Amino acid sequence: MSSPEVSGEGANAPRPLTREPSLPDAGIYSGAPSAAPYPLSRMAPSFDLVDVAAEIQKADAMLATVAGGKLGVIADQIRHLQDEARALLERARRDAELHRARCNFEKKPGGVYHLYRKDDGERWFSLFAPSEWIRPQPQTFEGSYRLEADMSFTRIDGGETRSARETVDLDVRALLTSR
Of 30-44, 45-59, 76-90, the range with the highest mean pLDDT is 76-90
pLDDT at residue 6 is higher than 80: no
Place 171 in a pLDDT band, splitting at 50, 70 and 90: low
Whole-number pLDDT of residue 135: 83
Whole-number average pLDDT of the chain:
81
Whole-number pLDDT of residue 51: 83
Q: Count the alpha carbons within 13 Å of 97 in the hemisphere toward its beta carbon.
A: 12
Region of poorest pLDDT, from 105-109, 144-148, 152-156, 167-171: 167-171
pLDDT at residue 23 is higher than 60: no
Better-predicted residue by pLDDT, 110 or 3: 110
Among 107, 77, 95, which residue's Cα sits nearest to residue 160?
95
Residues 6+ away with beta carbon under 8 Å from 111: 146, 147
